[in-house]
Amino acid sequence: MTDQAYNFAYLDEQTKRMIRRAILKGLAIPGYQVPFASREMPMPYGWGTGGVQVSAAVLCPDDCFKVIDQGADDTTNAVSIRSFFERTAGIKTTTSTKAATVIQTRHRVPEMPLSEGQILVYQVPIPEPLRFLEPRESETRKMHSLEEYGLMHVKLYEDIARHGHIATSYAYPVKVEGRYVMDPSPIPKFDNPKLSDSAAIQLFGAGREQRIYALPPYSRVVSLDFEDHPFEASKADHSCGLCAAEDSYLDEVIVDDVGGRMFVCSDTDFCEARRAAGHKGKDAA
């Protein structure tokens, strides 16, 4: 049952309207960071308060909600956000990517391609991709408005100079629809290609920084690179120990106290669905 002390999905209607306006503006200008008046949420920053506010603004009573944290539905963070909306909105929740209409995520994009009608909400800690080299907000705003993005390549140049290759492996910068450079949130760069041409609506919420940005369905999203150091969506060169998937992002997990380890899908729903369909990895019991 919905907790009657709260409005549907916790935030009052006026706040939700304000957030929806920011979302609509973000969808109209893909990749552009729209300021919004972030509200105090009953959880600390770093727990996805930006994503939670965006979810609250888009959820409807008949939505089915999924939350993933690093690909998993069962971390403390994911469980607490899911139960927050069960309590304040009384909505159905799920761990199935396919069944979900709204998915809030931290650090991953589901392996299964999303479909039209689905919304993916990213939790964003630092929305400004240029901040690393230019801390002045007045200057980064100007750089975006004038499309002065040379600095983004300086960051990649520094990577190659130091490591011999582009070592940035998450929060890897992208250019949206040939215009705005955007931080895709700290997802592994393996996930970057999934942002492009996705059928789903993708929304990004940064609570502490008070920014929302968005990708409408089928946006063109290109990862920045050099001609002689092209972008690569890399992952661990293994297959999943449980479901044998070759093409999913893997976590390395320690399995015993004598240094035994295995690689398993980070997307737990994807892995379980494959195992249910009979796929079996070399470490599966």
Partner 1 sequence: MIDTPLLSVRGVSRHYGAHIGCSDVSFDLYPGEVMGIVGESGSGKSTLLNCMSGHLAPDAGEVVFDTRADGPRDTVTMSEPERRMLSRTEWAFVHQHARDGLRMGVSAGGNVGERLMAVGARNYGDIRDKATDWLGRVEISESRIDDRPGTFSGGMQQRLQIARNLVTGPRLVFMDEPTGGLDVSVQARLLDLVRGLVRDMGLSAIIVTHDLAVVRLLADRLMVMKSGHVVEQGLTDRVLDDPQHGYTQLLVSSVLQV
Q: Does 146 bind partner 1 (CB under 8 A)?
A: yes
207 is an active site residue: no
- Scanning 44-52, 63-71, 88-96, 221-229 for contacts with partner 1 by CB under 8 A, the matching segment is 221-229
Binding mask 88-127 for partner 1 (x = CB under 8 A): ----------------------------------------
Give, to the nearest 10 degrees, the angle between helix 13-28 and helix 49-58. Answer: 100
271 is an active site residue: yes
Q: Does 160 bind partner 1 (CB under 8 A)?
A: yes
Binding mask 226-265 for partner 1 (x = CB under 8 A): xxxx------------------------------------
CB of 25 to partner 1, least distance (A): 22
Q: Does 162 bind partner 1 (CB under 8 A)?
A: yes
What tokens appear for 135 in the block? 């801390």
Q: Out of 31, 48, 50, 241, which one is annotated catalytic? A: 31
SS3 content of the chain, % helix, strand, coil (to 5): 30, 20, 50
Which backbone phi and psi does 104 adopt, to 5 degrees? -100, 135
Nearer to partner 1, 153 or 280 (CB): 153
Q: Does 153 bind partner 1 (CB under 8 A)?
A: yes
240 is an active site residue: yes
CA 37/CA 208 separation, integer angstroms:
10
How many residues are there in the chain? 285
64 is an active site residue: no
Measured CA distances, 137 to 31, 126, 131, 176, 207 (Å): 17, 12, 8, 20, 17
Nearest 10 degrees: CA dihedral of 56, 114, 191, 102?
A: 10
Nearer to partner 1, 91 or 224 (CB): 224
Nearest CA-CA partner of 53 in 102, 82, 16, 27: 16
**Catalytically active residues, by annotation:** 31, 240, 243, 265, 271
By CB under 8 A, name the binding residues for partner 1.
133, 146, 148, 150-151, 153-154, 157-158, 160-162, 226-229
